[in-house]
Structure 1
């Protein structure tokens, strides 16, 4: 009845307004977004699985390699009595170079860290048989005896020569006759080479008798090590080794691991040895598990002894087999007695230094370790200034190691 009345009362010529029907989609906006995201993930996974480049996304180096010239091939062909042909063809052409110019490009495998050195150029010098230029050894740090170096796949590493050993040659000067008659202390500051400011602070503010230990990391640890030696500090090289909580606590790239074979650890050791020159010995960087594992540690000690180096155990692992391994090789060895800045406050550092001093009086020799914290450098520097007045001699680590061996 109401609808009929409305129709009769509506003005002539006008239609009754009708309700618009809303379009309803069979899915919600969130469902559509989820489907689109799923399609993207499927496409990405397919690209990753079927892409033929297993190292896709890693840095790549393209090198133009000069194809042998005809003049290079003819002499060899004449000697063989037959025509010589290149073994391979390269479409890439080398950019023009000046006569005798050579460049070495180091390519690093992003997955394994393996380095490959490729020499580019050398055109006329090599063609003219300039063997001296091609075989010239790379420059070494100032004050380094080239006879005590040999080339490895990563660079120059220490070696004995004509009875000379790096441990003796690079040990800092000390009055060993005086050290044999009175109590001595030695201090090793570790963790240097990463952070030029703190490394320079330790080099310049601490007395020369304080030994400095460099990690193999940092932009140019060799340059900082050279500066330390110029200030008459002797230096040790820290070798990153596996701690018990690895990999949660990771010393860094190329860490020596108990899970690797001896050959793999030896290759990593050579990488560390090549990072700088002029060190008298090695010391562990972390490594509580590694130094306590006989099968892993023994080969490292034997290699260090063969190369004329000493070994210093920082004393952080009570289960370390380094003392016995070093004794079997009759190599210079030392072990840390007190970690000076475990609690890095002036009061606790002073307390540790006083304990080190008392230990030196009781045993004749004591060795402390510390890091290059500003508070550590400040307190150790102040303590050493009056140490001789109290009848204690501050000596380099190598001197303390020799006295420990003889006593």
Structure 2
């Protein structure tokens, strides 16, 4: 007998095995299970697609468009001011109040925009035969305020560094403007060349400016500060002409600084005449501290002129190590009293030492400010 395995021998030839009907309960269970599995798989795939695992969607790229030249480090979006900065004080009403004194300065009233900092305010200019002279505006605005470099207003040690004698050497002046940080105040000698051009460059860089005025020393004219020297015995007309020649040499400065002048700064009549002129024009005065006999502080207070005096001369010895030690001395004064003013000249060694020292002083919490920030101003009391 032949063995046909599982084949049903009695099934008609040509017919396959009998299939279950779709309506069979077992078939329905299989179909439902398959459908459910498909739904679950679809849901999981959707969730996986929506989930941000940090791999499918890379972080957006930030593209910076380079500019041709960085702007000078001066506050942006600032407008001219005609008088002192706007200050709001919040003070405790009693010993039980928790708030301490807070000083808020209005950034819009601090200084001028870098793009226009080199342009003199027409309201603060008086035309003359000697060039544009500084003056108060009709509403009392002062060059001392309009051209001042802004500062934070925060408490702490503050130092003003003034580098003078600029304009006499073209290469030295250019290097001083390029290398010195914008916080350094620059003082120009009236006998210098291209002062208006250097003024514009310095102001665009953010520097506050002073004009140096030659004053009569002892043993004049054997010791001669140069053209336009103000003397004790000059008649009023000569005095006025010499002063206006100096003041008209450039614009956009906040005040004057004496150049020499040991005899002049000790003479009451001469200093009164000078301070009256500065008060009328809205300018400040910086005493270089070279004469112990100077009466500039009392005469400035009497006339209502913003006044400051140098604490340290940093480059009487033109050696880097000594200059750095003098700057450290200014820092000690500032930490003890709140502020100090250091003065020097535009020598290469001074410029390099000052630049390096400022970089480190900032890390120690020292704020470098313009001369005007440290002046005793009778109009801001």
Question: By the TM > 0.5 criterion, same fold?
Answer: yes
Q: 2:286 pairs with 308, 312, 333, which one?
A: 312
Cα deviation for residue 191 of structure 1 reads: 0.4
Cα deviation for residue 141 of structure 1 reads: 9.1
Q: 1:341 pairs with 315, 323, 334, which one?
A: 315
Q: 2:269 pairs with 275, 279, 295, which one?
A: 295
How many residue pairs align between the two structures?
Answer: 265
The answer to whether the Cα contact below 8 Å between 1:193 and 1:225 also exists between their aligned partners in 2 is: no
**Judging changes above 3 Å, is the alpha-carbon distance between structure 1 residues 404 and 327 closer, same or farther for their aligned structure 2 residues?**
closer
Establish whether residue 175 from structure 1 lines up as the match of residue 149 from structure 2: no
The answer to whether the Cα contact below 8 Å between 1:311 and 1:333 also exists between their aligned partners in 2 is: yes
- Aligned to 2:375, what secondary structure does the other structure show? helix
- Aligned to 1:288, what secondary structure does the other structure show? coil
The answer to whether the Cα contact below 8 Å between 1:291 and 1:297 also exists between their aligned partners in 2 is: yes
Q: For 2:279 and 2:159, how far apart are their aligned partners in 1?
A: 24
| Map of 2:141 onto structure 1 | 164
**How high is the TM-score relative to the length of structure 2?**
0.67
Cα deviation for residue 406 of structure 1 reads: 7.8
Name whichever structure is richer in helix by fraction.
1
Per-residue CA deviation, residues 244-301 of structure 1 (Å, 9 max, x unaligned), is 1322221111211112123311111011111101111011011111111111111111
Q: For 2:377 and 2:354, how far apart are their aligned partners in 1?
A: 22
Cα deviation for residue 379 of structure 1 reads: 0.6
Q: Tell me which structure has the larger Cα radius of gyration.
A: 2
Establish whether residue 143 from structure 1 lines up as the match of residue 114 from structure 2: no
Aligned counterparts, 1:7-406, within 5 A? 142-161=118-137, 162-176=139-153, 178=154, 181-402=155-376
The answer to whether the Cα contact below 8 Å between 1:192 and 1:372 also exists between their aligned partners in 2 is: yes
Q: For 1:318 and 1:215, how far apart are their aligned partners in 2?
A: 23
**Judging changes above 3 Å, is the alpha-carbon distance between structure 1 residues 404 and 380 closer, same or farther for their aligned structure 2 residues?**
farther
Q: For 1:351 and 1:284, how far apart are their aligned partners in 2?
A: 25
| Farther off after superposition, 302-311 or 241-250 | 241-250
Q: 1 or 2 for the larger relative contact order (CA 8 Å, sep ≥6)?
A: 2
Q: For 2:128 and 2:254, how far apart are their aligned partners in 1?
A: 19
The answer to whether the Cα contact below 8 Å between 2:258 and 2:286 also exists between their aligned partners in 1 is: yes
Q: For 1:166 and 1:350, how far apart are their aligned partners in 2?
A: 32
Q: For 2:186 and 2:208, how far apart are their aligned partners in 1?
A: 7
The answer to whether the Cα contact below 8 Å between 2:286 and 2:309 also exists between their aligned partners in 1 is: yes
- Aligned to 1:212, what secondary structure does the other structure show? strand
Q: For 1:189 and 1:169, how far apart are their aligned partners in 2?
A: 21
| Map of 2:69 onto structure 1 | none
RMSD in angstroms over aligned alpha carbons?
Answer: 1.9
**Judging changes above 3 Å, is the alpha-carbon distance between structure 1 residues 404 and 360 closer, same or farther for their aligned structure 2 residues?**
farther
Cα deviation for residue 403 of structure 1 reads: 8.4
Per-residue CA deviation, residues 306-360 of structure 1 (Å, 9 max, x unaligned), is 1001111111111111100110122211000110001111121111111111000
The answer to whether the Cα contact below 8 Å between 2:304 and 2:377 also exists between their aligned partners in 1 is: no
- Aligned to 1:398, what secondary structure does the other structure show? helix
**Judging changes above 3 Å, is the alpha-carbon distance between structure 1 residues 274 and 404 closer, same or farther for their aligned structure 2 residues?**
closer
Cα deviation for residue 152 of structure 1 reads: 2.0
**Judging changes above 3 Å, is the alpha-carbon distance between structure 1 residues 289 and 347 closer, same or farther for their aligned structure 2 residues?**
same
